[in-house]
Structure 1
Amino acid sequence: MFYVIGGIIVSVVAFFFTIKFLFELAARVVSFLQNEDRERRGDRTIYDYVRGNYLDPRSCKVSW
């Protein structure tokens, strides 16, 4: 009996995290498509944006 209840709970938790991940991914993709300047995007892809590799080195200024 405990195995059945435990299996159901694990399935519900896994389903919850899957849905949460999909919503987060969708939010990032929509944000990328709405806010990116199409001329400056260049070779950056949605995959780079989702992984966090979306900073444009030309826009980063470092002064010493």
Structure 2
Amino acid sequence: MPADPLVISSACTACGACLLTCPEHALRPAPGRPRVLAEACTSCGECVEICPADAIDLRAG
């Protein structure tokens, strides 16, 4: 399984903005904070830009 291309920190408020924004539907609801589907994520950064809590970062790759 590939490593998660995103890091979602504990600052996440589970607001769901990233879930609605992801063009690849690579984020899924999960207890506490969204789960990343690494095989679907293209590291486009749209979720990073939309996150009101600034809780998502792209991993350096």
Give the TM-score of the pair, scaled to structure 2: 0.25
Looking at both structures, which has the greater relative contact order when contacts are Cα pairs under 8 Å and sequence separation is at least 6?
2
Larger proportion of strand: 2
Q: Which has the larger radius of gyration?
A: 1
Structure in which a larger fraction of residues adopt helix: 1
TM-score, with structure 1 as normaliser: 0.24
